[in-house]
Amino acid sequence: MVVHVGGLVAVVFFYILILIVGIWAGRKQKSSEKSPDTEEIMLAGRNIGLLVGIFTMTATWVGGAYINGTAEQVFSTGLLSCQAPLGYAISLVVGGLLFARPMRNAGYVTMLDPFQRKYGQRMGGLLFIPALLGEVFWSAAILSALGATISVIFTDVSMTASIIISAAVVIFYTLFGGLYSVAYTDVVQLGFIFIGLWVAVPFALRHEGVGSIVTTWPEWRGHIDKSQYVDWLDGMLLLIFGGIPWQVYFQRVLSAKSAKKAMYLSFCAAVGCIVLAMPPVLIGAIAKSTNWTMTDYDINKDIKSPEATKLILPLVLLHLCPKFVAFIGLGAVSAAVMSSADSSVLSASSMFARNVWKLVFRNQASEREVLLVMRIGIFLVGAGAAGIGIMVSSIYVLWYLCSDLVYVILFPQLLCVVYVPHTNTYGSLSAYIIGFVIRILIGEPSLNIPKVISFGPHIPPKTLCMLISLSTTLIVSLIAKLLFEKRVLAPQLDVLHCLVDIPNEVLPLKESTTTDELHQQYRIVKPSVPQSQLTEPTMMINSSYLPSQDTLNTYAISSNH
């Protein structure tokens, strides 16, 4: 096995530094907590300041997949085809404008809370599936990028082995868990990316085999044919709106000290995404402008092959920069990827522990039990992400897969649950099924799913799927509401218990300091007339949110200290 000792030292140094920062932040959190608290671990006690929030929100998107994928796309198809940096930046702005303030003001703990509050815990459990797949695909992209970096430093190690090793490192680090650890490591991560890549760019530009990127601008700018306009628009809309309904995003929004700060950190992170996309764009342009026969790159390997294209950023660092600069850049990217991966893995496991395990299967689960389930989830999500990262050939394909199901299924549901009062479980369930089926029927070449239906050459297919899903939610909800209001259907036919036959329900949303305050802040809603006589549908909160005695005791103990 060929090992670059300098690269090994750089990667190990950055890993250890990130690990130390994560452990320090975790202990800082634990020193203020006498007993385990899932909200403290998931949302850092809603105490994330604006500056740290901006860093952690930016770092969540600007990970290894973002950096490596941007360089890969600029090199292979051109800047105009590289949509993700601009798309996700706009997504952060839209998310800040439409969702940050209402979600933070409501005091939710996860992105799925409003769904379970309005549609019931089981419907929330169903919506967890596309949310989980999105987080797993995103983690897979991150691990694939880290595997690419390691396979450059250890040239005889296969991509598969690299991804498995990387997943093991990420899982181990994430088990130290908690948003405090993730947030503070994100601050370090952004420093690594900024310094490591910006230091490398001028050295790469001065290599004798690199031509002027100004002269080669038409080559790395790329070109979009008229026949590609619809697909380009479809992809951009997917990135913008499909980039919003992510637990990694809302975990940071909900951890902000106030709704106003939650909105501001989204806007500032959008600027950060554009700024930090510049170095990988330049590296992709440098790679496109390089005569690779004038470097120490193995000319027997085609630089334009899919295998080499996926590795283009670490290859530029290794073959166009002095060794010490290359190893700083490679080590920085590796550490940044590790820090980004824990965000996604923690988000998926948080949703499972709270919204599925506690609210669907084990209503009275203790805080300690939920934390244990979360840690098991970290391992399972990390392992699943590693498997996806091994099977899919392109980081950029993984990027699109990340937002696909989320765009078609979750975004219209999120829009309705926040802004449309009359929607209900019937509409949500119908849209879930119809949106998923139609999305499968239009096919997906990267997963070898055949196309069964086609909407024509001038219609963006994924956006139409999203609009069909949105329309289904609105129309079916309205029809169901009218049928029960007008007594066309008998009350006992409300099998989903969301319009007429509604149980008494409780939902904890706000932070509390004493047992009495906690009981006062739990909202209990009871119908003023028997359920069977209701003529107006009422929306109440699910009984599965009733806190266990263990939770109440935890708050009481904390208040006494």
Q: Over the stretch 305-318, which tens digit does the pLDDT of each residue have? A: 877 887 888 889 88
Residue 528 is predicted with a pLDDT of 34
Q: 5-401: which CATH topology? A: Sodium/glucose cotransporter (1.20.1730)
CA torsion 338→340→341→346, rounded to 10°? 130
Amino acid code (one letter) for 423: T
pLDDT for res 335 = 67
Helices (H) and strands (E) in the chain, counts: 24, 2
Contact between 240 and 406 (Cβ < 8 Å): no
Give the 3-state secondary structure of residue 459: coil
DSSP H helices, 392-531, are: 395-405, 411-419, 425-441, 461-485, 515-521
Task: Give the pair of three-digit tokens for residue 155.
Answer: 């040239």
Question: How far is Cα 411 from Cα 434, in angstroms, rounded to an integer?
Answer: 14
Low-confidence ranges of the chain (pLDDT < 50): 1, 506-508, 510-561
**pLDDT for position 555:** 39
φ/ψ bin of 178: left (φ > 0), alpha (ψ from -120 to 50), beta (otherwise): left
Residue 513 CB partners (closer than 8 Å, separation 6+): 555, 558, 559
Q: Which residues of the chain form CATH 1.20.1730.10?
A: 5-401
Give the pLDDT confidence score for residue 561 in this predicted structure: 42
pLDDT of residue 140: 81
Q: Which pLDDT score, from 0 to 100, does residue 384 have?
A: 85
Q: What pLDDT, on a 0 to 100 scale, did the predictor assign at position 475?
A: 96
Determine contact, residues 109/179, Cβ cutoff 8 Å.
Answer: no
Instruction: Classify strands 505-507 and 523-525 as parallel, antiparallel or unpaired.
Output: antiparallel
6-11's contacts with Cβ under 8 Å and 24+ in sequence apart are 6/323, 6/324, 6/327, 7/152, 7/153, 7/326, 7/327, 7/330, 7/331, 8/153, 8/154, 9/327, 10/327, 10/328, 10/330, 10/331, 10/332, 11/149, 11/150, 11/153, 11/330, 11/331, 11/334, 11/335
Query: How confident is the model at residue 546, as a pLDDT?
Result: 42
